[in-house]
Amino acid sequence: MKVAAIKIDPYLNWDSGTLNPYQHGEVFVTYDGMETDLDLGHYERFLDVELPGISNITTGKVYQSVISKERKGDFLGACVQIIPHITNEIKEMVREISAKDNYDVVLVELGGTVGDIESQPFLEALRQLRNEEGSKNVMFVHVTFVPYLNAAGEFKTKPTQHSSKELRSMGINPDMIVLRSQEHIDDDIKRKIAHFCDVDFDAVVNTPDAQSIYEVPLVLDRENAGQFISDRINLGIDFENDKNTLNEWEEIVNSLKIQSPVVTIGIVGKYVELEDAYISIRESLHHAAAKNGVKMNIVYLSSDVDVKDENELKAFEEELSKLDGILIPGGFGDRGVEGKLSAVDYAIENEVPIFGICLGMQCMVIQFARRIGMEDANSSEFKTDLEYPVIDMMEEQKKIKNMGGTMRLGAYDCKLIDGTKTKEAYGEDLIQERHRHRFEYNNEYRDVLTENGLVIAGTTPDDFLVEIVELPDHPWFIGCQFHPEFKSRPNNAHPLFASFVKAAFDNKEYRNNTEDEIFEKINSNKTFNKYKNSSREERKYALV
């Protein structure tokens, strides 16, 4: 079945591109270059599809479209109003997506809470949609939170009763209610909700907190949610006799349950207080761990360190020393950059596998340049009047004044260079990866950086922009200007993440084994090949 997913965000921002990750979590980027809500990332990972940017509808997009139509004269003579003009626009946007690729099912998630003023036009539009498409073709699923009061020792169903009532007052009768809760909810409570909210008992579904989000489809299956939906909108699926529909998913969930051995990866960034800010990276690391048969332990380290303060730097390095691999994610602005640069330096000195993504890759280039003598090397994003702006703004970006949607966005081709670790990881000549940046590796420094050993592993097909750098005689040092995390899937880990996690695991083995055990492994393990011809003394040094 072809399934499209739409996320509606009732805020006024046109897209989420200019929102601080602390406000909104990660900004997801679609292949066609739209900056969207992170829920689209969940949809892509769960459905294993690539959704177009129009799958994220905001109040900003709806109003902008209506107002520009009004300016063009499309509504000449009419008084333009929320109903019908805004609601018509919403319906049109939903239909545009469903028509785009002949989808069988279109899932529309309306964000926010029933009763929010800003979601009302959307609820009204969706109500009209059901009326127009026929109630056999449209169903409503109401997701509610059922709190548990410890002191009273009971679940409270009133919020669900009230929000269902509120929905009914707007003409929307929920066909199914999904109860989010911390613990399992029993049938008596479900019956009570069915009774008061006027839905079938079979249509009350409970999704208590799961160990991993990937378990939720299995929970929904246990609750027979699929069968109810299929019957309700005539999808013709017989879940009882077609159990293999979820076989692959069960395998995915099992592969994510491995408890040992553990690999510890540190994400060194500035939004570490909010895990959602790095959600696709987190998921990609889990997919890669499952692929390698290891358990992923993610540590979030703030890069906001005063590196000039010796004690602070020492404490930071102490934390870094506990990691099997370091990941430097993307970011904007100079806060935390010096900490990221120190982490790059630490990884080079201590041969710890390190993966730089976007700003992380830029930090690798900057730190490499500093190490070979360009002392003030930096990105012109953080400082002007630099002697060595090794990362600089792209020419076409210099003319742009607006901030929203103006970066280099979306999927671009990238050519991989023969003989690099990156090409080995991908096993392909040409890849497509998604971008979101204004700054680039500065071509003026291409020769000097390459001569000194920073290998270019990928460029645009015309050779013009450097997309990937790596260090050949390091266990794993790869930085990419794009965001590979948007393309990782639970059933198909991203090759760079898979290769990075493998190197981190090898590194851990290396650190945790005795010298003799290591010598034995050296001949059989690629990562250690570089030590093959080293003296015992050198190997010992490497062990420390």
Cα–Cα distance between 512 and 264 in angstroms, integer? 13
Give the nearest distance from C-beta 485 to ligand GLN in angstroms.
11
Binding residues for ligand GLN, total number by CB under 6 A? 10
Widest CA span in the chain: 88
CA distance 261 to 257: 12
Of residues 253 and 466, the one with the C-beta less far from ligand GLN: 466
The correct pick among 359, 466, 468, 504 for binding ligand GLN (CB under 6 A) is 359
**Helix ranges, 235-293 (H):** 247-255, 279-292
Contact predicate 435/410, CB 8 Å: yes
Nearer Cβ to ligand GLN, position 61 or 435?
Answer: 435
Identity of the residue, 285 or 522, whose beta carbon is nearer to ligand GLN in the bound complex: 285
- Which of 62, 123, 358, 363 lies at the binding interface for ligand GLN (CB under 6 A)? 358
Residue 439 touches ligand GLN, criterion: CB under 6 A:
yes
CB of 398 to ligand GLN, least distance (A): 13
Pairwise CA distance, residues 151 & 270, whole Å:
38
For residue 119, give both structure tokens: 């979601």
Q: What's the half-sphere exposure (Cβ side, CA atoms, 13 Å) at 477?
A: 27
Check residue 438 for interaction with ligand GLN (CB under 6 A). yes
Least distance (Å) from ligand GLN to the CB of residue 127? Answer: 39
363 binds ligand GLN (CB under 6 A): no
Q: How far is CA 264 from CA 253, 269, 324, 464, 482, in A?
A: 20, 16, 5, 36, 23
Q: Which of 66, 44, 95 is nearest to 36 (CA)?
A: 44
- C-beta closer to ligand GLN: residue 10 or 330: 330
CB of residue 95 vs ligand GLN: minimum separation in angstroms? 33
Which residues, in sequence order, are bridge partners of residue 262?
295
Residue 24 as a binder of ligand GLN (CB under 6 A): the answer is: no
Q: What is the DSSP string of 308-361?
A: TSHHHHHHHHHHHTT-SEEEE----SSTTHHHHHHHHHHHHHHT--EEEETHHH
Nearest one of 361, 392, 391 to 467, comparing CA atoms: 361
Cβ 31 to ligand GLN shortest distance, Å: 16
Choice between 482 and 510, CB closer to ligand GLN: 482
In 334-445, where does DSSP find H-type helix? 337-350, 359-371, 395-398, 421-426
By beta carbon distance, the residue nearest ligand GLN is 330
Q: Which residue, 65 or 302, has its beta carbon nearer to ligand GLN?
A: 302
List 223, 483, 494, 509, catalytic entry: 483
Minimal distance in Å, beta carbon 330 to ligand GLN?
A: 3
The residue annotated as part of the active site, out of 358, 363, 414, 480, is 358
Query: Toward ligand GLN, which CB reaches closer, 125 or 363?
Result: 363
Q: Contact 172/141 with Cβ under 8 angstroms?
A: no
Catalytic position from the list 223, 485, 494, 509: 485
List the 466-470 sheet strands across, edge first: 295-302, 262-269, 325-328, 354-357, 477-480, 466-470, 455-459, 408-416, 430-437
Quote the least distance from Cβ 436 to ligand GLN, whole Å.
5
469 binds ligand GLN (CB under 6 A): no
Residue 467 amino acid letter: E
Stretch that binds ligand GLN, among 421-429, 430-438, 505-513, 524-532 (CB under 6 A): 430-438
Residue number, 26 or 175, with CB nearest to ligand GLN: 26
Q: Which of 42, 286, 340, 436 binds ligand GLN (CB under 6 A)?
A: 436
Given a contact cutoff of 8 angstroms between Cβ atoms, the answer to whether 356 and 479 are in contact is yes
Binding status of residue 381 toward ligand GLN by CB under 6 A: yes
The reply to whether 79 belongs to the active site is: no
Smallest separation, CB 343 to ligand GLN (Å):
15
Residue with tokens 């993440």: 497
Residues 437, 487, 494, 508: which binds ligand GLN (CB under 6 A)?
437
Token pair for 156: 């409270």
Range in contact with ligand GLN (rule: CB under 6 A) among 334-342, 413-421, 432-440, 446-454: 432-440
Q: Return the percent helix, strand and coil in the chain, to nearest 5.
A: 45, 20, 35
The span of 410-418, 436-444, 466-474, 533-541 binding ligand GLN (CB under 6 A) equals 436-444
Contact between 485 and 497 under an 8 Å Cβ cutoff? The reply is yes
Site for ligand GLN in 319-338 (CB under 6 A): 330-332
Shortest separation between residue 412's beta carbon and ligand GLN, angstroms: 14
Under the criterion CB under 6 A, does residue 281 sit at the interface with ligand GLN? no
Strand-pair category, 439-441 with 391-393: antiparallel
Q: Which stretch binds ligand GLN (CB under 6 A): 13-21, 83-91, 285-293, 437-445?
A: 437-445
Contact call for residue 339 and ligand GLN (CB under 6 A): no
Q: Is 130 in the site for ligand GLN (CB under 6 A)?
A: no
Residues 6+ apart with CB under 8 A from 234: 136
Decide whether 437 or 487 has the Cβ nearer to ligand GLN: 437
> Is residue 414 annotated as a catalytic residue, yes or no?
no
Backbone angles phi, psi at 145, to 5 degrees: -105, 130
Q: Which is nearer to ligand GLN, 10 or 17 (CB)?
A: 17
> 485 catalytic, yes or no?
yes
Least spacing, CB of residue 202 vs ligand GLN, in Å? 46
Mark residue 410 as left, alpha or beta (left: phi above 0; alpha: psi -120 to 50; beta: remaining): left
The number of residues making up the chain comes to 544
Catalytic residues: 358, 483, 485
Interface residues with ligand GLN (CB under 6 A) are: 330-332, 358-359, 381, 436-439
